[in-house]
A and B are shown apart, each in its own frame.
Chain A
Amino acid sequence: MIQVEKLTKYYGEYAAIEDVSFAVEKGEIVGFLGPNAAGKTTTMRILTGFLQPTSGKARVAGYDVVTQSLDARRRTGYLPENVPLYDDMTPRHYLRFAARINGVEGRQVNKRVEEVMEATGVTDHADVLISKLSKGYRQRVGIAQALIHNPDVLVLDEPTVGLDPNQIQEIRQLIKGLAGDHTIILSTHILREVEMLCERVVIIREGHVAAMDTPENLARSRAGAQQVKLVVRGPEREVQAKLAALPGVLRVQTAHSADGVVELEVEGEQKRDVRETLAAAVVSNGWGLQHLSEARVDLERIFREITLEEKGVAA
């Protein structure tokens, strides 16, 4: 749905992004992760036609964003970082305007406006001047605007920034509900958000793509091994020895042991998932399996490592 090849943008001498390439499949939610000024917004602006790239190609829904800009824009909904609202309009009038300039057919306009207001929860504030709306409602009107023409591709630049925790939760639910029908790229520097929403992550650092994968794979590849947490009722030494001998298991360590219950940390080979092997071994030895889980992906650490490395201050 989105193909980006060697995209480069210079502001004067300064390269905002350089040789950025990635692709997004139909229906995916992809997270754009990176520190401030890494080039997230620049990339999004090129995808939506607001900026011309210095070199490189980008296609959205099959249309080149430079040479077939209008066709690409017709199929893209965009929420810029600064939500583009006219303060002297009400959400209803604003969304009607957004619908019409985005090519929604005359008879469909009012129906579409009601639909997106319902979906984003702005119906009860539909006739309040936008200048009087709270940050949360402004953000929702902005998202409603991006959805108005039912675009194939949604580009959301920091959709939850500046919202309170309840609002963030609501907006995340909303975005999650949109996946499948829409292909979504969203940028954020909130790592939890990426874990919750995104199937894949593109980490950008200093205008380059530093990493691109699912959050789980990213964590695994970085840790160099799969981390599994295991709680077993059984004899500590024997459990440890037997599990360590299993194929694919690299290391077994006892974290805690009391009352015949052992808490273990197991490292497995990165390429094979050792969870089922572990479970089978525990059960066939007649021990009690109380808990087994892959250790939570510590994206925070990964992010710090990836974005800080090569600067000599790796975390």
Chain B
Amino acid sequence: MKNAIIIMQRELRSYFTSTIAYTVAAFFLFICGYLFFSVLAATQEASLRYMLHNAAVTMLLIAPALTMRLVAEERRSGTIELLMTAPVTDTQVVIGKYLGSLVFFLSMLVLSLQYPIILMRLGSPEMGPMFTGFLGMFLLGAAFLAIGLVASSLTKNQIVAAIGAFAVMLLLWIVQWAAGPTATGWLPEVLRQLSVLGRFDNFVKGVVDTRDLVFFASLIGFCLFLSVRALAAVKAR
């Protein structure tokens, strides 16, 4: 774990000195602020439900932008050779990198906590759904960052990593469309189960379902496993 933390710290240092990370954070907070203002002005409702529902779309852009560099850049520049010849395991490298992106994302999310605070000063919002809404946002982001990490582990090219991650995320976003609202049978059911958007919406509505938690946890676990395998493949090539 110590080694993973060391690698995480380096990733964080790299985020906080990179223009991409600041651009992404500014973009996220600007969109959140815009949504917050326009939803509040239109509905006069002390709720973050519509804002969070819409702000989630930004994750499709944010996650690839934050993760594309993680492994791809190290493979391109050759610094991967430093990591893989140091006495650290592939798993520690993957976990360290993942935690780095997760902590940066979390710090962005913490900055967006200003909106619930503003609501609490202006009115009396329901605390439960606001809390679960942010939890949902965190889990969605965490899952997407894990997908982005897999994409970045598979190539030396950051652009390819970003586009690959975006494609997979978008597909998971809309995968239930193929099932339609009423179709029955195992395939439509599987497609509906895969939909990240439906699960995220449950959190925004204030519903914390264990199945949703398990879904996000297994998606993250599976992606980290794939990333470790991808790194090991660099060695065996």
Interface residues of A (CB under 8 A from B): 11, 45, 48-52, 70-71, 73-74, 76, 78, 80, 82-89, 93, 97-98, 100-103, 145
Contact = CB atoms under 8 A, between A and B. Distances in A.
B13 A84 contact: no
Given A84-B79, A101-B3, A49 B13 contact: no
B6 to A, nearest CB: 5
Contact of B82 (A51, A87, A98, A100): A98
Contact of B7 (A45, A87, A101): A101
Contacts of A86: 10, 14, 79
Interface in B4-26: 6-7, 10, 13-14, 17-18
A49 B84 contact: yes
Nearest to B96: A101
A82 B84 contact: no
A76 B88 contact: no
Nearest to B86: A101
Contacts of A48: 85
B121 interface: no
Given A82-B77, A84-B79, 14 more contacts: A51-B235, A51-B237, A71-B87, A74-B87, A80-B82, A86-B14, A87-B77, A88-B18, A97-B10, A101-B7, A101-B86, A101-B88, A102-B86, A145-B82
B45 interface: no
A17 B30 CA distance: 56
A73 B82 contact: no
B81 interface: yes
A84 B237 contact: no
Nearest to B6: A100
Contacts of A70: 87-89
Given A51-B235, A52-B235, A93-B13, A84 B86 contact: no
A49 B236 CA distance: 10
A101 B6 contact: yes
18 contacts: A11-B237, A45-B81, A49-B84, A50-B81, A50-B84, A50-B85, A70-B88, A74-B87, A82-B77, A83-B78, A84-B77, A84-B82, A86-B10, A88-B18, A97-B10, A101-B6, A101-B7, A101-B83
Interface in B58-107: 77-89
Nearest to A54: B236
Contacts of B235: 49-52
Contacts of A103: 87
A144 to B, nearest CB: 12
A154 B222 CA distance: 37
Contacts of B89: 70
Contacts of A88: 14, 17-18
Nearest to B93: A101
A49 B85 contact: yes
Contact of B81 (A84, A87, A89, A93): A84
A257 B71 CA distance: 70
A74 B88 CA distance: 9
Contacts of A76: 85
Contacts of A97: 6, 10
Interface in B218-237: 235-237
Contact of B78 (A51, A80, A100): A80
